[in-house]
Amino acid sequence: PSESTNSVASDPIEPMNRGTFWVNHQLYHYVFLPISDVYKTVVPKLARKSIDNVFDNARYPIRVVNDLLQGNPERAGQETAKFFVNSTYGLAGLGRPSDRTPGLEDVPAADTGITLAKWGVPNGPYFVIPILGPSTARDTVGLIGDYGLNPLTYVSIFWPYTWLIVVPTTNTVRALPHQMEVYDAATGNALDRYLAVRTAYIQYRNAAVAK
């Protein structure tokens, strides 16, 4: 991708972004972090890993469709093989035998935001989404695309209404430990948490696009 694609536009709404970031920080510190700690205490590490694997395996349509949209059928084939191995030998995705399978152990994950970047769409303005955290205009559109490709989005069509609450809640809680670790790593020694997260996010997304 070109430099203009990877660069982020200036921060024209920094005061609003900082305000939202402050609110998010309070939620992370006083709400999400305690929930994460309880989850880690109640659910054993191996079980947490299995739950993460199941949700990651379910995101296969997001990855394979975006691989094809990026004109990379070879990587789409790798994703399909990875999904098959994990869904069968991994017992419906509870395990990840693909991590020990040559050629499948390190397949870069694709998403709609990365696809837009590959097509030359620039990041656009940076802004902070309430609760969700850092994003750009491009990645926000990408989130909408990922939501539409995620099979869990449509689970309520085939299951009782309870599943509309249970599945998203489980997905949110199981992701908290990793998200809290990433946030702490970016802000732990930072003089300005906002700038630290902004820089870390843009660098992370640029690296994902470059793979």
Structure confidence by residue, pLDDT tens digits, 51-110:
999 999 999 999 999 999 999 999 999 999 999 999 999 999 999 999 999 999 999 999
Give the pLDDT confidence score for residue 1 in this predicted structure: 40
Quickly state the pLDDT bin for 163 (edges 50, 70, 90).
low
105 in Cβ contact with 60 (< 8 Å):
no
Give the pLDDT confidence score for residue 45 in this predicted structure: 95
Give the pLDDT confidence score for residue 55 in this predicted structure: 93
Strand partners, 127: 135
Whether residue 141 is predicted with pLDDT greater than 90 in this model: the reply is yes
Give the pLDDT confidence score for residue 135 in this predicted structure: 95
132 in Cβ contact with 92 (< 8 Å):
no
Distance CA 36, CA 169 (A): 13
62 in Cβ contact with 110 (< 8 Å):
yes
Whether residue 164 is predicted with pLDDT greater than 70 in this model: the reply is no
